[in-house]
Structure formats: structure tokens, C-alpha cells
Amino acid sequence: MKIFATYNIKGGVGKTATAVNLSYLAAREGYRVLLWDLDAQGAATFLFRVRPRVKGGGKALIRGTRSIDNAIKATDFDRLDLLPADFTYRNLDLVLDAAKKPARRLGSLLAPLRAEYDVVFLDCPPGISLLSESVLQAADTLLVPLIPTTLSVRTLDQLTEFIAGLNGHKPSILAFFSMIDGRKRLHKEISEQLPEQRGDVAATVIPAMSMIERMSVERAPVAAFAPLSAAARRYTELWAEVRERSGLPEPKPDDAW
């Protein structure tokens, strides 16, 4: 089981769009996928048309009074399950604080699911908190969407430094450019140069596209409602790159949709 987390301290950079699209594409390819919506805003839960309410809320999950298995919901897509966000997540940090070894909590909650899923995506809220520490401990790879400005490179450096300073487990980082505006020269320059200069920046970029914005109207991943669109193709490329770099074994081909 590989655990990917879409993570950035910054908000509105494409974390949820990435988690939703890549989890869909992974399931389509034959992997058994769980998407855990860790954001109280519940955007990923909304996009997959899953009812957000978890009995007892996220608190019960983190405290261990409710098993994770019971909270997992099926989506409209085969092999793709979702752990919904619940409004109580707004207190998640406090609950984590009260848990034993809070930074390990997410990882230990996921451990029993190893046999059930090949791939897990954690869709994180923006910011840096106890929850993010727990995510950093649990994740094998952080997928970091970057808006192409010189500041975004600083953000990536800061994150890299922060992770290097962690004790114990350190997730690997794979950043990629998100919401590139093709008309802006700076966007073009940075998004072409940085992947060549840095091994932790993906070659695939996700442009700003109205088809991606449409996800919130269609309430589905792009490749589900517009399979032939340029947006679907970009996410397919990104998933291929993520999959290859993370060394995920091939899925059974006869399982693909």
C-alpha cells in the first residue's frame, strides 16, 4: 500500500483537484484506492457525491472508538472508496493532541487497511498543524502542487528543509506545477526550467483549465465526465509520472475499466 498526500501550506493551489483526479485514474487502472478527505471543507467528499456525515464524526475515528472500516463509503466508481470529511474535523487538531503519539495516529489508523487497498490518497487542508505532522509521518510521497511564481520555489525549499529536520520517517516530495497560465511568460519560464533543475519537480504540468473548474458543477473527476479532454489527458500523464516515480507495482491489467 502506497500512501500519497496532496499537501501544500498554501490554500487553493489544486490539492483537492489532484487527489480527486488521481484517485479516480488509479482506480480505473485497476488499483484498489482509498481517498481520505482530511479537510473540514469536505471538497473531495462533495466532488464524489458522498454524504459527509460519519457517525460519531472524525473525532470518534481518531480516538479509536469507531473503526475506520465502518466510516469508509463507496463512491460511484469501482474500487474507489472514500473516507468522508466531517465537520467535526475542524477540531481534529485538538483530538489529535489528546491522542497518544499524535503524529503517528493517521499511520496507525491506516495500517489495518494494508491488505484492502493498493493506494491511499490523503487530501489535506492547507496550513501546517498537528494534522500535517501526522500526514508527514504517514505518507510515502507528498504531492505538492505549486503555482509558478518565484515564491512557490521558496515554499518548496521550506517544505524540503522542514522534512529534512523531521525525526524518523521522512516522506519523499514530488512537486508539480498547477494552474499554469500559458499567457504569462513567468509561468511558462518557471514551469519549463524548474523540472530540469530539480529532481523533486515533475515534468508534467497542470495548466489552468476551465474543464478542471467544471468538476464542481459536474461533481465528478474530469476523466469521468470529459474523458477525451486535454485536462483529462494532463491528469493521466501526471498519474503515470507519479506512479512510475513512486515505484508502485503494475495493477492486474484485466481489472482495468
Chosen from Mg ion, ligand ATP, none, partner binding at 213 (C-beta under 5 to 8 Å by type): ligand ATP
Site for ligand ATP in 63-102 (CB under 6 A): none
User: Of these partners, Mg ion, ligand ATP, none, which one is at the site of residue 71 (CB under 5 to 8 Å by kind)?
Assistant: none
CB of 168 to Mg ion, least distance (A): 27
The 170-189 site mask, x for binding ligand ATP (CB under 6 A), equals --------xx----------
CA distance 36 to 84: 7
What lies within 8 Å, CB to CB, of 147 at 6+ separation is: 10, 13, 177, 178, 179
Nearest 10 degrees: CA dihedral of 24, 25, 31, 32? 0
Contact of residue 130 among ligand ATP, Mg ion, none (CB under 5-8 Å per partner type): none
Cα 242 to Cα 145: distance, rounded to the nearest angstrom: 13
Write out the binding residues for ligand ATP, residues 119-138 only, by CB under 6 A: 125-126
* Least CB distance to ligand ATP at residue 12 (A): 4
Q: Give how far the C-alpha of residue 132 lies from the chain's centroid of Cα atoms, to the nearest Å.
A: 12
Written as one letter, the residue type at 104 is R
> Are 162 and 194 within 8 A, CB to CB?
no
Does position 15 bind Mg ion by CB under 5 A? yes
Contact residues for ligand ATP, defined by CB under 6 A = 11-17, 39, 43, 125-126, 178-179, 206, 208-209, 212-213, 215-216
